[in-house]
Amino acid sequence: MTCFLLYSQANVPDAPLLDLWLGKYGPFVTEQPDFVVQWGEAGLSACERYTVVLNGKEAIANASDSTIAARMLSDSGIPHGIADTSATATIRRYIAIVFQQDMISLYRSSGRRLWLNNRVKEGEDRYEEIDPEQKTREIRRLKQYAIRSVYTLGLDFAAVYLGVDMHGTMRVLNVATTFHMTRTLARKFISRIENFCREYCASDTPIMLGADIEFILRNQAGNLVLASDCFPKEGPVGCDRVCMRGDETKKLRPLAELRPDPAADARELFRNLYRTMMIAIRKTGSPHIEWVAGGMPLTGYPIGGHIHFSGAVPNAQWLRALDGYLALSVFMLESPRSLARRPRYGQLGDMRYQFHGGFEYRTLPSFLVSPKVTRGVLALSHLIALSYRELRTRPFLNQELHHAFYHGDRDTLFPLVPRLWDELRETEMYAHYAMYLEPFAQHILSRTQWDEYSDIRPVWKLPPFQPESSVSRRAYEHSVL
């Protein structure tokens, strides 16, 4: 494994980083490096086929243009003051150093200075390092904004400058692709890069696949049925509580959720999911309670389908492949109602670490709309987890395509889809799931949008739309599973 630090004469790293790097890796490599850390724009794309580039030139261009950066952060729902000429007084400022999905160092302004504008100038203010793992609400929010800002612009690492005003409102003020390095920070930075490279190269690690997928129970009058009236909080079929959008009381209302047992193969996970659906049917108790799925099948109630991965550590390259090949494919099927959940929910790269040592990918809406879509999503998720190192197209590094995703512009994004699926077909894993993936691909290419108003039980042939007799049930399960 070789790793190369690439920089131009205009962006020479501070001595602590340069000295430590040269001490570990030497001044140059004699072969194509496996990884390139690009410190400032030096010409390499994030989409290079034969090396992994951290901070590709596309992302650096996004961050360097205040108009583009402001638009991308706004589309993602991140509050910011970039390219804002109005005076916004801040009483506290932070610098967060981010590497992919983690904040590695945090600095807070010292003293009681009042800033009357959003300008950020290196060395203008004094900062002290603080514990980035503090559990205060402000630090948790800061960490979320900082990591999301770096990911949104397409970067792998950056310094994110944030300000807090007198009302406690926090905004991103700048995202810098090069930044001042102390010796302590340089050690942390190099350590994170080494961990990333080591974990990225562990391609033979088996990946377990899981899911938790929300759906809504609805009566025949079209009103919400509380899932807590039918299901327990825990278990394979349970409740997940959300707050209705626009409800100032912030009252949490229980929605239904399926939690099938994880599996090493998408086909087995699909079988486990179907079994949980049968459990849910029996617990519902009434044939007149309808099931609906999608992104927002009932106004004000956004729901999602979360894919769980365990056995490997997440990284930005994996998440960007999920965004570009999976989320974009599902996007082509979503109804306009489903798109309404963004940007508050379903942002690109939305992930959360899990207790099982892996993570859940949270960008997708509830994909229970049909067996064809569900099978396709699970199979494609597993293919990407095992093959993302081969998948190097990154559509959302382009700010126009990024904007189109958040604004539901299918016409702009659709021309990419056939090429993305051609790339998927070239992977070794595609043949393993071709029976699931080809019908899914054709459905996507047909540009057929799903109907979030429809009860999903008939298309799944769930009782009462399929007899409960053991003979007919086994025959249907054999055909669908």
Q: Residue 2 corresponds to which tokens in the numbers above?
A: 């070789």
pLDDT for 245 equals 45
Name which of 122-126, 167-171, 212-216 the model is least confident about. Answer: 122-126
DSSP class of 301: B
Q: Which residue has the higher pLDDT, 19 or 122?
A: 19
Q: Residue 169 corresponds to which tokens in the numbers above?
A: 């409102």
Alpha-helical segments (H) within 1-136: 15-25, 57-64, 66-75
Closest to 182 (Cα-Cα) out of 348, 55, 19, 309: 19
- Mean pLDDT: which of 19-28, 106-115, 158-167 is highest? 158-167
Q: What percent of the chain shows pLDDT beyond 70?
A: 91
pLDDT for 468 equals 60
> Domain extents for the chain?
3-201, 208-476
pLDDT for 471 equals 46
Name which of 82-86, 214-218, 397-401 the model is least confident about. Answer: 82-86
pLDDT for 246 equals 47
Across 324-339, average pLDDT: 94
Q: Is the pLDDT of residue 85 over 70?
A: no
How far lies 379's CA from each of 213, 269, 308, 368, in Å?
A: 15, 9, 13, 14
pTM of the predicted model over 0.85: yes
Q: Which residue has the higher pLDDT, 285 or 3?
A: 3
Residue pLDDT, tens place only, 197-212: 999 998 778 899 999 9
pLDDT for 470 equals 54
Fold of 3-201: D-amino Acid Aminotransferase; Chain A, domain 1 (3.30.470)
pLDDT for 252 equals 58
Residue with the two structure tokens 């000429």: 85
Residue pLDDT, tens place only, 366-419: 999 999 999 999 999 999 999 999 999 999 999 999 999 999 999 999 999 999
- Give residue 90's Cα distance to chain centre: 30
Q: How many residues does the chain have?
A: 481
pLDDT for 439 equals 97
Q: Is the pLDDT of residue 248 over 50?
A: no
- Average confidence score pLDDT of the chain: 90
User: Is the distance from CB of 306 to CB of 215 less than 8 angstroms?
Assistant: no
Strand partners, 128: 108
Predicted confidence band of residue 108 (pLDDT cuts 50, 70, 90): very high
Closest to 258 (Cα-Cα) out of 292, 235, 241: 235
Sheet harboring 52-54: ordered strands across? 3-7, 35-39, 52-54
Q: How far apart are the first and last CA of the chain?
A: 42
Predicted confidence band of residue 467 (pLDDT cuts 50, 70, 90): low
Q: What percent of the chain shows pLDDT beyond 90?
A: 69
